[in-house]
Amino acid sequence: MRLDKFLKVSRLIKRRTVAKDVSEQGRVWINGREAKASSAVKVGDELQIQYGQKIVTVRVERLTETTRKDEAGELYTLVKEEQRPRENDLDWEKQ
């Protein structure tokens, strides 16, 4: 399944066009490699998605063409969620 479609179906990103844009900005990785919207996603892959200053890592558990909102969370398992320090915060600490 295409990465942009999986992100939409799993509700990790609400719209497929937004998922495509985020991928093209280099903010999504599959198994540690930068991924494009058309990259193939398989069961067992680990996805890292950067939302602003937060990076979410999930493992793909299941692939399906469509899903209901209440079942979308079953398509992946949250591995970790981490905050990235803002560049301004790093500059402040150096002073």
Which domains, and CATH codes, for the chain?
Answer: 3-84 (3.10.290.10)
Q: For 58-87, what is each residue's pLDDT tens digit?
A: 999 999 999 999 899 999 999 999 987 766
Residue 6, by phi and psi: left (phi above 0), alpha (psi -120 to 50) or beta?
alpha
pLDDT at 85: 72
Q: Which residues pair with 51 in a beta bridge?
A: 54
Read off the pTM: 0.83
**What rounded mean pLDDT belongs to the chain?**
90
Query: In the predicted model, is pLDDT for residue 36 greater than 60?
Result: yes
